[in-house]
Amino acid sequence: MGIPTQTEFFDCTAASELLTHELRRVVRTFRLDARRLARVLAMDEGDAAELLAGHQLLRPSSPEGLRTLRLVRLHRALGDAFGTLDAVEWFMTHANGEDGAIPAALLEEPDGIERLFARLDCQGVDQWRPREFALRVAGGV
């Protein structure tokens, strides 16, 4: 009568592996080396190098893990907002018209991730998206 259920417990090792894997995706998109990653995550450069080499995993509950979670969320939000990897890379490497700051450089500041989230929340994406990356919709409503 029905399918038996089983209580599943949160697997901390799997969470660490998943978070570290997602971090590597962010690193590729944002082109972070160990030195820059250490600044973004407020961690030791040696530990950042170990993460990039695959010799270490992030604990999601650690300060670095929590910061990585925010960084991964930012990465996904940028992907959703801009639609293509090229557009995200363009956004990250070009100065913002409002204050002239380059988003990739903001990441390395203590509140950089939060500042980028604030920019996404306060400004329309169309203000940032260069014309060559603008989404074109065919047809009318």
- DSSP track, 5-56: P------HHHHHHHHHHHHHHHHHHHT--HHHHHHHHT--HHHHHHHHHTS-
Q: Convert the pLDDT of each residue in 96-123 to its tens digit.
A: 767 788 989 999 998 999 988 888 876 5
Packing angle, helices 85-93 and 63-82, rounded to 10: 110
Predicted model pTM? 0.78
pLDDT band at 133 (very low <50, low <70, confident <90, very high): low
Rg from Cα positions in the chain:
18
Q: CB–CB of 57/63 below 8 Å? A: no
Domain boundaries, the chain: 12-133
Mean pLDDT of 3-18: 68
The Cα 35–Cα 4 span in angstroms is 50
